[in-house]
Amino acid sequence: MSDHISTVPFEERSFSVKTACEILSISKSVYFELISAGAIETYKQVRSRKITGRAINLYRTKLRVATEQGSSS
């Protein structure tokens, strides 16, 4: 069995705040605003905040839907 991270599907991976911000191309302050607003789902692991690839994709889908709805009005 391989322990290499590349074998784990994106949706099943967990990411740090820094990495999530890089993936989403946002600042840490925007990231924490999204958490406070309930726009993005994260969890605490010991003392660090984590986000799954699934939550990142869900957030991206919400943005895409909102954009599509805004352009069709």
**Is residue 14 exposed (0-12), middle (13-18) or buried (19+ Cβ within 10 Å)?**
middle
Is 4 a member of any domain? no
Number of compact structural domains in the chain: 1
Domain encompassing residue 25:
12-71
Q: What is the pLDDT of residues 2-54, one digit of tens each?
A: 567 778 999 999 999 999 999 999 999 999 999 999 999 999 999 999 999 99
Is 6 a member of any domain? no
Q: What is the pLDDT of residues 9-20, one digit of tens each?
A: 999 999 999 999
Is 17 a member of any domain? yes
Q: What phi, psi does 62 have (nearest 5°)?
A: -60, -40
pTM, whole model, 2 decimals?
0.82
Q: How far apart are CA 24 and CA 57, in angstroms?
A: 10
Is 3 a member of any domain? no
CATH number of the domain residue 31 falls in: 1.10.1660.10
Is 2 a member of any domain? no
Is 35 a member of any domain? yes
